Amino acid sequence: MSASEDLEDLPGVGPATAEKLKENGFDSYQGIAVASPGELSNTADIGESSAADIINAARDAADIGGFETGATVLERREQIGKLTWGVDEVDDLLGGGVETQSITEVYGEFGAGKSQVTHQLAVNVQLPAEHGGLEGSAIFIDSEDTFRPERIEQMVEGQDDEVLEDTMELHGVAEEGEADATDEAMFDALVESVLDKIHVAKAFNSNHQILLAEKAQEIASETQEEEFPVRLLAVDSLTAHFRAEYVGRGELAERQQKLNKHLHDLMRVGDLNNTAVVVTNQVASNPDSFFGDPTQPIGGNILGHTSTFRIYLRKSKGDKRIVKLVDAPNLPDGEGVMRVEEGGLMNE
């Protein structure tokens, strides 16, 4: 049983019942979820309707989903959107941009530009579709206190005039045909509108971060019928708190378990709301044995299997950055180059 699975969290399960369940091998949510009410009722000396309640709660918690038809899966996949980085080489590398309904992991050493990427995507997600945006809003879970509204403003300013003007119309800060990229009042109104569409929450520790991901699901689903539905969930950084809090070797398993749950929650937000999930991850700067290979992202295998797209950012000369796609499904590995400038991520 994982540490997060306390049987006493199930409705009507006290210490005695929990003990009986465990003695009889019902020691995980998953095991209980697939039991029959009769079986459970006999095992734990409880009524069948209480047993049914317990099973239902365990099913929800274990997230043993039902089956869906191939047609439903296809329909959902047809909704997948691609969010531009605003960098041609990177968009090409990704087959159009960051995908919704997927987790994209951006990893690299300090100063590589991971936080720049999350800021840029929070702006780009709000652009008109014809400019590579998703006409949506963003949720930004900030665990390192890196979110800077000033940076967002610079990245709005860094857009081409045509993009800026079409975005002004999309955001309703200018009438159709009236938008003017050089109009200060319009520009200010656009910046305000863009900032308004980024829901930022600071995560104070890993447990708080996990809670925020659950909260993100609520916010994202609430917005789906509105204008600018949530189309991006960024977590910057995914791993910093986990890394700082679970330091001993003995805590590695628990850390991975929690990270795994967290990623699962994030994936759910992506799947259920057609949202792109972008997480950042550090690489260890010193090759200590705990974190292993310094060029490998923190989090080990679990993260490797969950993130569908993995992007390795590497510093190059000056503002130049190498963007490398690593182990993506259905896409060849490859590299692109970008610059991190005052106006944001730019073509080389």
Cα dist from 186 to 172, 180, 191, 288, whole Å: 10, 7, 9, 52
Three-class SS of residue 106? strand
Backbone angles phi, psi at 25, to 5 degrees: 90, 0
Q: What is the rounded CA–CA span in Å between residue 68 and residue 72?
A: 6
The answer to whether 112 contacts ligand ATP (rule: CB under 6 A) is yes
Instruction: Pick the stretch among 68-76, 95-103, 108-116, 271-279 that binds Mg ion (CB under 5 A).
Output: 108-116
Q: What is the rounded CA–CA span in Å between residue 120 and residue 136?
A: 14
Site string for ligand ATP, 295-324 (x = CB under 6 A): ------------------------x-----
The answer to whether 115 contacts Mg ion (rule: CB under 5 A) is yes
| One residue of 5, 37, 81, 114 binding ligand ATP per CB under 6 A | 114
SS3 labels along 176-203? CCCCCCCCHHHHHHHHHHHHHCEEEEEC
Q: Residue 282 binds what, of Mg ion, ligand ATP, none (CB under 5 to 8 Å, by partner type)?
A: ligand ATP
Structure tokens belonging to residue 89: 């080489």
Site string for ligand ATP, 225-244 (x = CB under 6 A): --------------------
The answer to whether 287 contacts ligand ATP (rule: CB under 6 A) is no
Site string for Mg ion, 133-172 (x = CB under 5 A): -------------x--------------------------
The answer to whether 348 contacts ligand ATP (rule: CB under 6 A) is no
Residue 299 · residue 286 · CB < 8 Å: no
Nearer to ligand ATP (CB atom), residue 11 or residue 111: 111
The answer to whether 149 contacts ligand ATP (rule: CB under 6 A) is no
Site size toward ligand ATP, by CB under 6 A: 15
The answer to whether 120 contacts Mg ion (rule: CB under 5 A) is no
Q: What is the rounded CA–CA span in Å between residue 83 and residue 97?
A: 5
Binding-site positions for ATP read: 108-115
| Count of CB atoms situated within 10 Å of the CB of 252 | 13
In degrees, rounded to 5, the angle at the alpha carbon of residue 284 between the alpha carbons of residues 280 and 290 is 120
Site size toward Mg ion, by CB under 5 A: 3
The answer to whether 336 contacts ligand ATP (rule: CB under 6 A) is no
Q: What is the rounded CA–CA span in Å between residue 241 and residue 230?
A: 25
Q: Footprint of ligand ATP on this chain (CB under 6 A)? A: 108, 110-116, 144, 154, 282, 319, 340-342
| Chain residues that interact with Mg ion, rule: CB under 5 A | 114-115, 146
